[in-house]
């Protein structure tokens, strides 16, 4: 069996890099860059994944990387065949009448180039590793494509020694993340391959919060329950929008290095209404409606993780064949002998005041506004983190209770 373990691992601040150095001027070619061609599919998958989690975790924190999941299974689709292939692509949000397999994989290759470009202000990396037992002989074509399109490292692994395999895989993750995250447990008795997808991001607020202004405050988990959390505070020019239709406030916070995060605060009791409405059109509306205003912002300092078995969730989204004996992954080895037995996803997030230095943009503040909105994130809220150039949602989270990891 082909055991797939997906780990979207995020340390430091949650951000997206504006990796402009490798951005080819595709407009000169008269077409969108490949990463933008897959953006609609990835965005649709992100929202459907969120809706699936929200329906199963009504009152809990949610944090995951939709891109980590879609990347791993897009790589699996490289050599899937027949129904397995069509289900994978459809479940990931790609209509083969609109975009070809080649364009999908070219899109992910370009996206990896954009995200993995070194940036002096942001540490960002994404990649895959395939740990394989010697009893599996992978086809050269698959290995070449996995490396070319998905920057996949292939590492020999002795799954007959579960402890050794566990140690090797966790050591690899530790090297990529710079710290030990014991996310991989002993493989099952039938495991012959494990796919690890990792994402690591670290960056700094463009306008750091002043740690001396961080004070304990109440966070209202619901109308009857409050918990005490350290609440960060800043008074600054920020992009802000109040959505009267969805009864929520939207604040965009910039990071150094042309990165940003979108914080959405629904009114009391309006979280489900907001989540049900969340889609590509709503996101576009918010982005087009944001206006720069001076506001008082209160945001909880938090550390949140998410750990999920995603096999059942993907099956509910229509990706079923790949998990059964009917799976056709013959493009891996030339024989229809593999199936995906399990898929896990884990993400870790820390948000706090720190920054490398105060940014010049924060010093240019307009005067003359009589009304200064106060936005206090002291009840459940959502965060969408996206890559500006490629229009890719990399991380999504619901903060239901900042005290719970």
Q: Could you tell me if residue 404 is inside a domain?
A: no
Q: Are strands 152-156 and 123-132 parallel, antiparallel or unpaired?
A: parallel
Are 57 and 193 in the same domain?
A: yes
Q: Which tens digit of pLDDT belongs to each residue from 385-403?
A: 766 667 777 777 888 887 7
In a domain, 405, yes or no: no
Report the alpha-carbon distance of residue 203 to residue 199 in Å, rounded: 13
Contact 7, 198 (CB under 8 A): yes
CATH code of 391's domain: 2.30.39.10
Determine the angle formed by the axes of helices 101-115 and 140-150, rounding to 10 degrees. Answer: 50
Token duo for residue 29: 């070619």
Domain identity same for 166 and 241:
no
- Give the pLDDT confidence score for residue 101 in this predicted structure: 93
**Are residues 346 and 246 part of one domain?**
no
Residue range(s) defining the domain that contains residue 380: 211-300+356-399
64 φ, ψ to 5°? -160, 165
229 and 277 within one domain: yes
User: For the segment 137-155, what is each residue's pLDDT rounded down to a tens digit?
Assistant: 888 898 999 999 998 888 8
For residue range 213-267, list pLDDT tens digits in order.
889 999 888 888 888 989 998 888 999 999 999 999 999 988 776 667 889 999 9
Residue-wise DSSP of 243-269? ETTTTEEEEEEEETTTEEEEEEEEPTT
Shared domain check, 323 and 219: no
Same domain for 151 and 246: no
In a domain, 383, yes or no: yes
- For residue 12, name the pLDDT band (cuts at 50, 70, 90): very low
Return all residues near 227 (Cβ < 8 A) that are at least 6 apart. 218, 219, 221, 401, 402, 403
Phi, psi of 206 (to 5 degrees): -65, -40
* Residue 366 is assigned to a structural domain of this protein: yes
**Which run of H or of E encompasses 176?**
helix 162-177
* Sign of the C-alpha dihedral computed for residues 89, 91, 92 and 95 taken in this order: positive
Any idea what the CATH number is for the domain that residue 92 is in?
Answer: 3.30.497.10
Total domains present in the chain? 2
Kindly report the number of other CB atoms within 10 A of residue 269's CB atom.
Answer: 11
How confident is residue 26, by pLDDT bands cut at 50, 70 and 90? very low
Question: How far is 229 from 215, CA to CA, in rounded Å?
Answer: 8
Q: How far apart are CA 93 and CA 314, in angstroms?
A: 12
């Amino acid at each position: 069996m082909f055991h797939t373990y997906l780990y979207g691992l995020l340390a430091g601040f949650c951000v997206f890099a504006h990796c402009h150095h490798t951005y080819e001027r595709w407009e000169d070619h008269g077409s969108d860059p490949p990463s933008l061609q897959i953006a609609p599919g990835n965005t649709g998958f992100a929202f459907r994944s969120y809706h699936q989690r929200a329906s199963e975790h009504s009152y809990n924190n949610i944090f995951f990387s939709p891109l980590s999941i879609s990347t791993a299974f897009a790589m699996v689709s490289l050599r899937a065949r027949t129904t397995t292939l069509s289900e994978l692509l459809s479940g990931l949000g790609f209509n083969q009448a609109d975009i070809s397999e080649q364009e999908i994989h070219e899109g992910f290759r370009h996206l990896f180039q954009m995200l993995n470009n070194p940036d002096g202000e942001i540490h960002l990396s994404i990649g895959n590793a395939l740990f394989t037992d010697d009893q599996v002989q992978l086809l050269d074509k698959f290995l070449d494509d996995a490396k070319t399109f998905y920057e996949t490292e292939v590492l020999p692994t002795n799954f007959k020694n579960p402890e050794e395999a566990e140690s090797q895989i966790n050591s690899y993750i530790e090297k990529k993340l710079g710290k030990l995250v014991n996310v991989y447990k002993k493989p099952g008795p039938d495991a012959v391959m494990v796919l690890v997808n990792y994402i690591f991001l670290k960056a700094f607020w463009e306008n750091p919060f002043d740690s001396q202004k961080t004070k304990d405050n109440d966070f209202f988990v619901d109308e009857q329950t409050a918990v005490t959390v350290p609440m960060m505070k800043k008074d600054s020019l920020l992009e802000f929008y109040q959505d009267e239709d969805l009864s929520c406030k939207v604040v965009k916070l910039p990071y150094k290095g042309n990165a940003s995060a979108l914080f959405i605060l629904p009114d009391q009791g309006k979280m489900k209404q907001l989540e049900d409405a969340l889609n590509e059109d709503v996101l576009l509306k918010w982005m087009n409606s944001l206006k720069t205003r001076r506001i008082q912002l209160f945001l909880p300092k938090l550390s949140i993780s998410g750990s999920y078995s995603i096999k059942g969730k993907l099956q509910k989204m229509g990706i079923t064949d790949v998990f059964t004996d009917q799976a056709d992954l013959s493009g891996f080895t030339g024989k229809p002998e593999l199936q995906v037995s399990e898929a896990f996803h884990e993400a870790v997030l820390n948000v706090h005041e720190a920054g490398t230095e105060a940014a010049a943009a924060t010093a240019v503040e307009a005067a003359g506004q009589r009304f200064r909105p106060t936005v206090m994130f002291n009840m459940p809220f959502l965060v969408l983190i996206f890559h500006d150039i490629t229009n890719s949602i990399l991380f999504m989270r619901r903060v239901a209770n900042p005290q719970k990891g």
